[in-house]
C-alpha cells in the first residue's frame, strides 16, 4: 500500500451496493425486493434518529394508549410504526402490511405491489427509557393473490417457509441491520457521520453450540416440567444466564456468540408471549440461514401454519445443539404427559 492509499482507506461496502450486487440471487430479480430492502433501511435510519433524540425531547414514555396485545404503547412505538408504514407505502412494492401495533391489516393502496410485510416496528420498547438496546423485526412474503387488487388474509397468513427475506435492526451501542434473502445472513453497521449502513458482519455463521441460556427465570414457577428440567441441565453444565428482555438484543448476542433463547409457555401466557408472524418466523429464517435452529418445542417454527395474524407461539431458538437438547427434554415431558 503506497503513502496516498494510506491517507484514504476504503470505507467498505454500503448496504445499497451490496443489495445491488446480490440482486441476481433473488428468484424474481426485477429490483423490487432490492428497493423494498432499501425502503426498510431508510425507515431504520429515521427511527434510529428518533431513538437517539428521545432522551432530549418528549417522545419516550407511555402514549396513554394500548396496542392490540393490551400492552401500554410507548410513544416511540407509535413513531416507529408510522415511519415504517410510511416508507413501505411510499416505496410502492408492498401491497399489504401487518404490524404488531395494528389490530387490522394495513392496505397500502399499491395494488400492483408484489410483497407483503409483517413488522414489529419497535421490539423491547419497555426498555426505551432506560437506554437498553431495542430493535425492529421484519419479514417479507411474496403475495399469493393476483396483483391488481388489495392483499388478502391468505397473503398475510403464509407459513414462515414462504418468506423471501427477513431481518432485524438493533439500536444499541451501534445500530446494525441484519438480514437474509435465503442466501446466508449478512450484518451491516450504521455509520452515522456518513448516514450509511456498511457491511461489517459478512456471512454470519452461528456457533453450533454455546454456553448461554436466555429466558425469564422470574416465571420459573409456571414452567412446564420439560423446560424446568432443561434449565436445571443448563445450570449443571455451568452455562451463563443472559437475559436482556429485548428479544432482538438477546437473539443477536446468541446468534453471534452461541446460545439459546427461550420464551416458553407459562400460566400467564400458555402459548408463549411472542408473535409467530412478527417475531418468531423472521428470526427463525435468520437463525436457520446462519446454521442454527428454531422450534416451538415440538416442531420447526417456520412450518407452523398461522391461523391469525397475531398468533403467539413458544420459541426455542439459537445454536442447533442447544435447541436439540431442549427438544429432548420436552419430548420426554410430552411422552410422560400421554
In a domain, 175, yes or no: yes
Contact criterion met (CB below 8 Å) for 296 and 314? yes
Asked if residue 120 belongs to a known ligand binding site, the reply is yes
CATH of the domain at 289: 3.40.190.80
Q: What is the pLDDT of residue 53?
A: 76
Between 73 and 158, the more confident residue is: 158
Please check whether residues 170 and 255 belong to one and the same domain: no
In which band, very low, low, confident or very high, does the pLDDT at 183 lie, cut at 50, 70 and 90? very high
What's the predicted TM-score (pTM) here?
0.92
Please check whether residues 108 and 246 belong to one and the same domain: no
Please check whether residues 192 and 238 belong to one and the same domain: no
Asked whether residue 63 carries a pLDDT value surpassing 90, the answer given is: no
In a domain, 6, yes or no: no
Beta strands in the chain (DSSP E): 62-66, 72-74, 94-99, 106-107, 115-123, 134-142, 163-171, 175-180, 185-191, 196-201, 212-214, 240-241, 260-263, 293-295, 315-318
Domain limit, last residue, from 166, 181, 201 = 201
Please check whether residues 187 and 218 belong to one and the same domain: no
What mean pLDDT value characterizes the chain? 91
Asked whether residue 56 carries a pLDDT value surpassing 60, the answer given is: no
In which band, very low, low, confident or very high, does the pLDDT at 70 lie, cut at 50, 70 and 90? low
Q: What is the pLDDT of residue 76?
A: 85
CA pair distance 294, 48, nearest whole angstrom:
28
Domain total for the chain?
Answer: 2
In a domain, 4, yes or no: no
Please check whether residues 109 and 222 belong to one and the same domain: no
Please check whether residues 197 and 220 belong to one and the same domain: no
Name the nearest CA neighbour of 275 among 120, 135, 134. 120
Please check whether residues 235 and 313 belong to one and the same domain: yes
Asked if residue 219 belongs to a known ligand binding site, the reply is no
CATH of the domain at 47: 3.30.540.10
Domain limit, last residue, from 151, 168, 201 = 201
Asked if residue 122 belongs to a known ligand binding site, the reply is yes
Asked if residue 100 belongs to a known ligand binding site, the reply is yes
94-99 and 185-191 as β-strands: parallel, antiparallel, unpaired? unpaired
Please check whether residues 268 and 185 belong to one and the same domain: no
Question: Mean pLDDT across the stretch 187-216?
Answer: 97
In a domain, 267, yes or no: yes
Name the nearest CA neighbour of 248 among 335, 120, 150, 158. 120
In a domain, 197, yes or no: yes
Asked if residue 124 belongs to a known ligand binding site, the reply is yes
Contact criterion met (CB below 8 Å) for 223 and 323? no
Domain with 286, as residue range(s), is 212-337
In a domain, 10, yes or no: no
Distances (CA, A) of 62 to 58, 125, 132: 10, 10, 16
- Residue 17 has φ and ψ, to the nearest 5°, of -65, -40
Mean pLDDT lowest among 47-51, 81-85, 315-319 = 47-51
Domain limit, last residue, from 201, 220, 243 = 201
Name the nearest CA neighbour of 296 among 321, 326, 251. 326
Q: What is the pLDDT of residue 66?
A: 64
Distances (CA, A) of 131 to 92, 126, 127, 145: 34, 10, 7, 42
Would you tell me how many other CB atoms lie within 10 Å of the CB of residue 172?
Answer: 17
Question: Mean pLDDT across the stretch 83-103?
Answer: 96
Please check whether residues 30 and 162 belong to one and the same domain: yes
Long-range contacts of 63-69 (CB under 8 A, 24+ apart): 67/100, 67/101, 68/100, 68/101, 68/102, 68/103, 68/310, 69/100, 69/275, 69/310
In a domain, 248, yes or no: yes
Contact criterion met (CB below 8 Å) for 95 and 114? yes
Q: What is the pLDDT of residue 5?
A: 59
In which band, very low, low, confident or very high, does the pLDDT at 229 lie, cut at 50, 70 and 90? very high
Give strand pairing partners of 254. none
Asked whether residue 71 carries a pLDDT value surpassing 90, the answer given is: no
Name the nearest CA neighbour of 98 among 165, 153, 159. 153
Please check whether residues 116 and 136 belong to one and the same domain: yes
Asked whether residue 62 carries a pLDDT value surpassing 70, the answer given is: no
Please check whether residues 188 and 51 belong to one and the same domain: yes
Please check whether residues 161 and 293 belong to one and the same domain: no
In which band, very low, low, confident or very high, does the pLDDT at 72 lie, cut at 50, 70 and 90? low
Asked if residue 222 belongs to a known ligand binding site, the reply is no
Question: What's the chain's Rg over C-alpha atoms?
Answer: 20
In a domain, 7, yes or no: no
In which band, very low, low, confident or very high, does the pLDDT at 10 lie, cut at 50, 70 and 90? confident
Q: What is the pLDDT of residue 335?
A: 86
Amino acid at each position: 500500500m503506497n503513502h496516498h492509499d494510506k491517507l484514504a482507506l476504503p470505507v467498505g461496502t454500503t448496504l445499497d451496493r451490496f443489495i445491488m450486487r446480490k440482486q441476481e440471487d433473488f428468484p424474481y430479480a426485477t429490483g423490487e425486493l432490492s428497493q423494498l430492502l432499501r425502503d426498510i433501511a431508510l425507515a431504520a435510519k429515521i427511527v434510529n434518529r428518533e431513538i437517539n433524540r428521545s432522551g432530549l425531547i418528549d417522545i419516550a414514555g407511555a402514549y396513554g394508549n394500548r396496542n392490540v396485545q393490551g400492552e401500554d404503547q410507548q410513544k416511540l412505538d407509535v413513531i416507529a410504526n408510522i415511519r415504517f408504514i410510511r416508507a413501505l407505502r411510499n416505496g410502492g412494492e408492498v401491497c399489504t402490511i401487518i404490524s404488531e401495533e395494528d389490530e387490522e391489516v394495513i392496505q397500502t393502496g399499491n395494488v400492483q405491489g408484489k410483497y407483503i410485510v409483517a413488522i414489529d416496528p419497535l421490539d423491547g420498547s419497555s426498555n426505551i427509557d432506560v437506554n437498553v438496546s431495542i430493535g425492529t423485526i421484519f419479514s417479507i412474503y411474496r403475495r399469493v393473490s393476483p396483483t391488481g387488487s388489495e392483499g388478502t388474509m391468505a397473503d398475510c397468513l403464509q407459513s414462515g417457509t414462504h418468506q423471501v427475506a427477513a431481518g432485524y435492526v438493533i439500536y444499541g451501542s451501534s445500530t446494525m441491520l441484519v438480514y437474509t434473502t435465503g442466501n446466508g445472513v449478512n450484518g451491516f453497521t450504521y455509520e452515522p457521520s456518513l448516514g450509511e449502513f456498511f457491511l461489517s458482519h459478512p456471512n454470519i455463521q452461528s456457533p453450533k453450540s454455546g454456553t448461554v441460556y436466555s429466558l425469564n427465570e422470574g416465571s420459573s414457577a409456571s414452567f412446564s416440567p420439560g423446560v424446568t428440567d432443561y434449565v436445571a441441565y443448563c445450570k449443571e453444565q455451568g452455562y451463563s444466564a443472559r437475559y436482556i428482555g429485548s428479544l432482538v438484543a438477546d437473539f443477536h448476542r446468541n446468534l453471534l456468540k452461541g446460545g439459546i433463547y427461550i420464551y416458553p409457555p407459562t400460566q400467564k401466557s400458555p402459548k408463549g408471549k411472542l408473535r409467530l408472524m412478527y417475531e418468531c418466523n423472521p428470526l427463525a429464517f435468520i437463525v436457520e440461514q446462519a446454521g442454527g435452529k428454531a422450534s416451538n418445542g415440538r416442531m420447526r417454527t417456520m412450518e407452523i401454519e398461522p391461523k391469525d395474524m397475531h398468533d403467539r407461539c413458544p420459541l426455542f431458538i439459537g445454536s442447533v445443539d442447544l435447541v436439540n437438547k431442549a427438544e429432548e427434554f420436552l419430548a420426554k415431558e410430552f411422552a410422560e404427559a400421554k
